[in-house]
Amino acid sequence: MVDATLVEDYHSRTSGTRHLVESPVLWDETLRDGEQTPGVHFSPEEKLQIAELLSDIGVSVLNAGIPVVSEKEARAVDLLAHAGLKAKVLAAARTVPDDVDAVIKSGASHIAIFVAASNVHLQYKLKMTQEEVLAASLKTVRQAKDAGLHVAFVTEDTVRAPFDFVERLYREVQAAGADRLVVSDTVGIMTPLTFRWYLEEFCRRVEPRDLSVHCHNDFGLATANTLTAMECGATAPHVCVNGLGERAGNASLEEVVLCLEALYGVHTGIKTEKLFELSQLVEELSGVPVAANKALVGYNAFSHEAGIHTHGILAHTLTYEPLQPEVVGRERHMILGKHTGKTAVVEKLKERGLTASDPLLVELLQHVKAETEARSKTDLRRFLMEYRRLFVRPGLSDEEFWTMVEAVGIRPVSA
Ligand code: MN
């Protein structure tokens, strides 16, 4: 805990308006929504490697995937379900009996049954009426319950759907046995204030036994909205390592965990000191680089260069760091560069037991600044161009696709 004589803690003043559960159930979606990040795919063995670390770190539930997607995906779910993980293994299914059967067959103990709720999804995507959605939901929830599974019921686009329909649908699936209800902000349009209003209304009208949320990051609000949901009493937030996921991604595991732990003092049961290791493993296996300025796990998150900042940090880390890097398994880096000040150079010299007179320090500092200012950016720029080539449009190239079109014999119809 932070020394209260040095900094004020206003979080304690708002604790009366929060309804945080004592033991949150961290529900990881890295291997499902995270894998749906454009260009990302994990082999069954890679999924197992990530799942083992997630489980070891203390994640409660992990979504292994959707077995009906492919044979390989079914094998991955099966592999994780039988790996003896401490975390509960969940697999996802549409409100289609064959999907639910595939989950039952996989050996997963938990299922997430999902269907869309908003009018735009029903009319244009599912081409189903509300009555049809309700009937399919009830049928598959009962099917999964009869097989002894823990059932989470999820609607996509919950927060853009008519509330009367949401209320009726969730009430009925809960009565049919659904254990956990998931509200989704599928396109990330909620703000903390609106989401609070929505969830309070949802809790009043639906009375969920167990509330979970799925928040997307289209406006950069996924973590904030997830935290809001926790403040409203949600038990099982959906999270993804490094904030992976469709488009701009989902709420990030590390951000949600540290907000709860470091800001609100909630014991999440997560081994936070392993979060950086997990972040790097997922970065490597997904091939999606973590942004340098990403909270907690970005490479710059505990680096300091500017003179005023390094001076402050060297005097007391609390000046410019809200938490110690070791908490998330990291180290602090002092960067020598254009903005370096005298204190950092003095500190660096100490590494070899050296001290210097002021004129020599000034001279050394001039060299440090001049050298970094003169440094060529050619390599960095080349790397960035290559990075863009690989990432702006991952997946198959047009050339690869049109070659396949020819190979299967699709030809233009001649006039
Ligand atoms: Mn999603």
Measured in Å, residue 267 CA sits from the centre of ligand 1 at: 26
Measured in Å, residue 76 CA sits from the centre of ligand 1 at: 20
* Mean residue pLDDT across the chain: 95
Q: How confident is the model at residue 394 (pLDDT cuts 50, 70, 90)?
A: confident
Spatial contact of 264 and 242, defined as CB atoms under 8 Å apart: no
**Angle in degrees, CA 183, 184, 186, rounded to 5:** 170
Q: Where are the domains of the chain?
A: 19-286, 299-374, 378-407
Measured in Å, residue 186 CA sits from the centre of ligand 1 at: 6
Domain 299-374 CATH (choose: 3.40.190.80, 2.40.50.140, 4.10.430.20, 3.40.190.10): 4.10.430.20
**Burial profile 9-36: b = 16 or more Cβ within 10 angstroms, e = fewer:** eeeeeeeeeeebeeebbbbbbbbbbbbb
Instruction: Please provide the distance, in angstroms rounded to a whole number, between the alpha carbons at the two ends of the chain.
Output: 77
On the question of a common fold for 19-286 and 299-374, the answer reads no
CATH superfamily of 19-286: Aldolase class I (3.20.20.70)
**DSSP codes, 336-370:** PSTT--HHHHHHHHHTTT----HHHHHHHHHHHHH
410's CB contacts (< 8 A; 6+ apart) are none
Measured in Å, residue 202 CA sits from the centre of ligand 1 at: 20
Containing 255, the helix (H) or strand (E) segment is helix 253-258
155-168 confidence digits (pLDDT tens): 999 999 999 999 99
Measured in Å, residue 250 CA sits from the centre of ligand 1 at: 7
- Tokens matching residue 40: 């990302």
Q: Is the pLDDT of residue 8 over 80?
A: yes
Measured in Å, residue 33 CA sits from the centre of ligand 1 at: 5
Measured in Å, residue 187 CA sits from the centre of ligand 1 at: 8
How far is C-alpha 188 from the chain's CA centre?
A: 13
220's CB contacts (< 8 A; 6+ apart) are 248
Spatial contact of 36 and 246, defined as CB atoms under 8 Å apart: yes
Measured in Å, residue 118 CA sits from the centre of ligand 1 at: 15
- Tokens matching residue 317: 């880390």
Measured in Å, residue 244 CA sits from the centre of ligand 1 at: 10
Express as a percent the part of the chain with pLDDT over 90.
Answer: 91
Q: Is the pLDDT of residue 15 over 90?
A: no
The values of phi and psi at residue 165, to 5°, are -70, -45
113-141 confidence digits (pLDDT tens): 999 999 999 999 999 999 999 999 999 99
What's the pLDDT at 60?
97
197-216 confidence digits (pLDDT tens): 999 999 999 999 999 999 99
282-334 confidence digits (pLDDT tens): 999 999 999 999 999 999 999 999 989 999 999 999 999 999 999 999 999 99
What's the pLDDT at 271?
98
What's the pLDDT at 1?
59
Measured in Å, residue 156 CA sits from the centre of ligand 1 at: 8
Measured in Å, residue 342 CA sits from the centre of ligand 1 at: 48
